[in-house]
Structure 1
């Protein structure tokens, strides 16, 4: 599976955390999304994207 390959071979990943909350502890639940930024296939001609802020 892809997670096992990523854990063994490594890679570059972007993590986005969306935290919408009005100081109400019960509704302060972050939403996480993940995106791989490096080449998944070493034979691919795609170049990696690095957009760090």
Structure 2
């Protein structure tokens, strides 16, 4: 019984877990943003590439 009570009172691993959850949330947001803006980014980079090609 004391083992279970000690597990709930310990806070050592909580910070690492919170950072892991935060990193996972940021990664999920980045993937969602790339999915949403992906085609727009491709068009922008293709336009830059074409303009650089024309300038040379």
What interval of TM-score do these two structures reach, taking the shorter chain for normalisation?
A: under 0.3
Higher normalized contact order (CA 8 Å, seq sep 6+, divided by chain length)? 1
TM-score, normalized by length of structure 1?
0.20
TM-score, normalized by length of structure 2?
0.20
Greater helix share, 1 or 2?
2
Greater strand share, 1 or 2?
1
